[in-house]
Copies of this chain bind each other. A is one copy, B any other.
Amino acid sequence: MNSRRASPSSAGKSSAPSPSPWRARRRDREVKREAVIRAAARAFNRRGYHNTSLDDIAAALEVTKPTVYYYVTNKEHLLFQCFLAGIEPIHAAFREVKDLEAPARERLNAVLRHYGEAVASEFGWCMVRAEDQDLSPAMSRHIKALKSEIDQGIRRLIREGIQDGSIEPCDPKMSAFALAGALNWIAHWYREDQSLTPAEIAAAFVTIFEGGLRPRSASQVATRAPLKRRVRIAR
């Protein structure tokens, strides 16, 4: 983490003489800034936003609070940066899928897989839990807007799927809520040390969403209580 200055020390850098130190400095600074954001994400993830002090974050980086403030303007912005880092891959997924020739259901599935992986990522917690309360009105609006984009994107894909016949007709709004909710919730239970990788989890979820609980095979075996479980009417 602590990238001490890599200091190429210039020294006859090709012919180009001088803007290198400036550039190196700026790059260093950006690296450190990202380290701060990652440390914050990890801390928020573990203890929650309100139970994480900037002193905690600083301690995790082995620096002091003013140093943290040297890289971010305040705690709220810090959360916001974590949020952005978490949500970016989802936007990327939409872009990636945008111009694909494929039934909308498959495009939706691709987005959902990326979505699930993003939620299980280091920044998943921040992405999922930011906004609600504990944010200034302005910031809250901003985050809500970004989240809404994603919601609308999912709804659109569902509508397109219904149109092209690849998705069973349904209420796009409710379906989008159900899908996003299931995936968002991953942030509540997933921890690194899990047996499944984020990709595997996302894939499992997509399978569940696609198929539903009701058996596809016509079989439809028992419709009565099968083996054990006798009724004890008289309670």
Contacts and interface: CB of A to CB of B under 8 A. Distances in A.
Interface in A109-134: 132-134
B175 A185 contact: no
Contacts of A5: none
Helix, strand, loop or mixed for chain A's interface?
loop
Given A175-B213, A212-B210, A231 B168 contact: no
A222 B188 contact: no
A51 interface: yes
A167 B103 CA distance: 27
Given A99-B229, A178-B208, A182-B185, 13 more contacts: A99-B231, A99-B232, A101-B231, A163-B227, A165-B219, A166-B222, A168-B212, A168-B216, A177-B182, A178-B209, A181-B182, A181-B183, A181-B186
Contacts of A174: 201, 204-205, 208
B210 A213 contact: yes
Interface of A: 46-48, 50-51, 99-103, 105, 108, 132-134, 158, 160-161, 163-168, 170-171, 174-175, 177-186, 188-189, 201, 204-205, 207-216, 219-227, 229, 231-233
Contacts of A185: 177, 180-182, 184-185
Contact of A212 (B158, B160, B163, B212): B212
Contact of A215 (B47, B168, B171, B231): B168
Interface centre among A105, A163, A209 (most CB of B within 10 A): A209
Contacts of A231: 99-101
Contact of A181 (B103, B133, B184, B213): B184
A223 to B, nearest CB: 6
